């Protein structure tokens, strides 16, 4: 088996691995100005088929570009991943179509729907002469580990994944107010338990050097902080990624009876996920969370009224790089009673990271000092160091190739010292197994 790493090697973003020259695993983009795409771009590969692990930009954002010209590779994914990838692609085309920030056209996007084939978990299918099976990766709805069998070698490509915290009885505990606390992981999706046999594992390592705080403790700190601000008469803006994080925050707000609004692309994604109850942990809890939240229309000055009403607004974008957050942050920034609670990792160079580091940020083209309190909470949907090591414990006899992280080489060296056959491929490298 030949693996060519076109992206995601020693970095987070633009994931793409070419298997045996004709099967492509993911084809993402790395956000930035300018954005980065897999090495060689769409013209640098000519796959017969593509399997997409999940619907985040860094794994699926450039997939439509593979359908330009005469190319028509078959695209395989789970049903939610298909819907999420199309939603992101339409948004990219709307915001950046015709510029260097959008590597595809409307026609490419239309062709994508014509060559798409959805698959459920645990249902083997054929793609480019390989047998493929998707397993629940526990990252976002529809996310998948991809098992590839070429007849000689079995490759497990993890994509991004999350595992639940180890709990004695596997049950949720009750909070101090009698409401159900965190189930030991994300409320939206259960952590991955899949450990299919494999000869080679391409493993993500985003948080290889981090130990996440217990999810229940993160929730409790967040809830206490938000309740304090509301009691003081302030408003709380909760920037959140549209896919996964927005729904997670709505579930938390409902569980603790915190009034909230939801705005941005997260509204569309939330409604769409109702169509796929089999891909979430608790469909009834999601239904309650949707009923509990108030969806912002943006008409007749609604956003301006909301920020003055002492409430919680869950809104895109998660790193303050666009979306309705551009309205809410300027409106609340000057009052120290108000609060901004960042709920995900802030990539260096983004306004969210700048706000954390300096107390000011470039919002909608203007650098603004922020007097409102700024807090950060780790609601990560990735496995941390303990989770990664626990997962890889099932693959001590396999070759482990570490990718999708800022310190892939260091983590691979640690694994190697612990008896694993581990390495960290470099960008553009071809590994023969």
The string of pLDDT tens digits covering residues 74-128 is 999 999 999 999 999 999 999 899 998 999 999 999 999 999 999 999 999 999 9
Write down the residue that tokens 């930009």 correspond to.
Answer: 57
Whole-model pTM: value is 0.93
What is the reported pLDDT for 172? 42
| 94: three-class secondary structure by DSSP | helix
H-run or E-run covering 387: helix 385-392
What pLDDT is stored for residue 166 in this prediction?
A: 65
Q: What confidence tier does 173 reach under pLDDT thresholds 50, 70, 90? A: very low
The sign of the dihedral angle between the CA atoms of 108, 113, 115, 119 is positive
Average pLDDT, the chain: 93
Sheet containing 49-51: give its strands across.
Answer: 116-118, 74-77, 49-51, 23-25, 16-19, 2-7, 430-432
Q: How far apart are CA 245 and CA 223, in angstroms?
A: 16
Indicate the pLDDT class of residue 179, thresholds 50, 70 and 90. Answer: low
Query: What pLDDT, on the 0 to 100 scale, is given for residue 299?
Result: 84
Closest Cα partner for 344 from 91, 192, 139, 202? 139
Which of residues 156 and 69 earns the better pLDDT score?
A: 156
Q: Kind and range of the H or E element at 133? A: strand 130-136
- 371 Cβ neighbours under 8 A, 6+ residues apart: 333, 334, 335, 336
Strand ranges in 8-101 using DSSP code E only, listed in sequence order: 16-19, 23-25, 49-51, 74-77
Please determine, for residue 221, whether its predicted confidence score (pLDDT) is greater than 80: yes
Provide the pLDDT for residue 365. Answer: 83
DSSP string, 162-200: --PPP-SSS---B-TTSSB---SS-SSSPPP------SE
What does the pLDDT look like over 259-306, one tens digit per residue? 999 999 999 999 999 999 999 999 999 999 999 999 999 888 888 888
312-315 β-sheet, strand order: 294-295, 260-263, 312-315, 236-239, 339-342, 373-376
Q: Across residues 417-423, what is the average pLDDT?
A: 98
For tokens 């590597």, what's the residue?
103
What does the pLDDT look like over 250-263, one tens digit per residue? Answer: 999 999 999 999 99
Gap between the Cα atoms of 130 and 23, Å rounded: 8
pLDDT of residue 274: 94
What is the CA angle 160-413-197, rounded to 5?
50
* Peptide bond between residue 34 and the one before it cis (omega within 30 degrees of 0): yes
317 vs 237: CA distance, rounded Å: 11
Q: Is 151 buried (19+), middle (13-18) or exposed (0-12) by CB count in 10 A?
A: exposed
Token pair of 38 as six digits: 């897999």
Q: Return the higher-pLDDT residue of 207 and 183.
A: 207
Q: Which two tokens stand for residue 37?
A: 């795409």
pLDDT tens for 354-392 read: 999 999 988 878 899 999 999 999 999 999 999 999 999
Answer whether residue 169 shows pLDDT above 70: no
pLDDT of residue 49: 98
Mean pLDDT of 139-160: 98
Under 8 Å between Cβ of 261 and 316: no
């Amino acid at each position: 088996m030949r693996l060519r790493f076109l992206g995601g090697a020693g970095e987070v973003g633009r994931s793409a691995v070419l298997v045996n020259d004709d099967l492509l695993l993911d084809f993402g983009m790395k956000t930035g100005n300018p954005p980065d795409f897999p090495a060689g771009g769409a013209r640098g590969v000519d796959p017969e088929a593509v399997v997409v692990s999940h619907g985040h930009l860094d794994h699926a954002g450039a997939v439509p570009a593979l359908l330009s010209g005469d190319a028509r590779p078959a695209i395989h994914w789970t049903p939610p991943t298909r819907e999420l990838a199309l939603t992101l692609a339409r948004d990219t085309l709307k915001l950046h179509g015709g510029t260097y920030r959008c590597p595809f056209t409307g026609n490419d996007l239309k062709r994508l729907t014509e060559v798409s084939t959805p698959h459920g978990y645990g249902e083997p299918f054929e793609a480019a002469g390989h047998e493929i099976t998707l397993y629940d990766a526990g990252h976002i709805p529809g996310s998948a580990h991809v098992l590839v069998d070429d007849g000689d070698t079995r490759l497990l490509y993890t994509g991004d994944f999350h595992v639940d915290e180890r709990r004695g009885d596997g049950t949720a505990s009750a909070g101090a107010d009698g409401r159900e606390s965190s189930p030991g992981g994300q409320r939206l999706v259960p952590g991955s338990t899949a450990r299919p046999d494999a000869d080679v594992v391409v493993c993500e390592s985003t948080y290889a050097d981090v130990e996440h705080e217990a999810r229940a403790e993160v929730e409790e700190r967040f809830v206490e902080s938000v309740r304090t601000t509301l009691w003081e008469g302030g408003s709380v803006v909760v920037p959140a990624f549209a896919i996964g994080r927005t729904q997670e925050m709505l579930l938390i707000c409902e569980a603790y009876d915190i009034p909230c609004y939801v705005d941005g692309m997260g509204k569309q994604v939330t409604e769409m996920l109702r169509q796929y109850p089999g891909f979430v942990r608790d469909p009834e809890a999601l239904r309650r969370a949707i009923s509990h939240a108030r969806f912002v229309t943006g008409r007749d000055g609604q956003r301006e009224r909301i920020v003055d009403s002492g409430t919680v607004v869950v809104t895109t974008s998660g790193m303050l790089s666009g979306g309705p957050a551009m309205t809410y942050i300027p409106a609340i920034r000057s009052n120290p009673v108000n609060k901004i609670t960042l709920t995900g990792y802030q990539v260096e160079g983004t306004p969210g990271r700048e706000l954390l580091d300096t107390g000011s940020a470039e919002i909608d083209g203007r650098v603004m000092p922020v007097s409102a309190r700024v807090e950060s909470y780790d609601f990560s949907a990735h496995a941390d160091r303990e989770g990664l090591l626990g997962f890889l414990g099932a693959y001590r006899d396999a070759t482990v190739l570490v990718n999708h992280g800022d310190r892939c080489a260091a983590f691979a060296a640690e694994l190697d010292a612990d008896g694993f056959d581990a390495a960290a491929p470099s960008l553009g490298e071809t590994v023969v197994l």
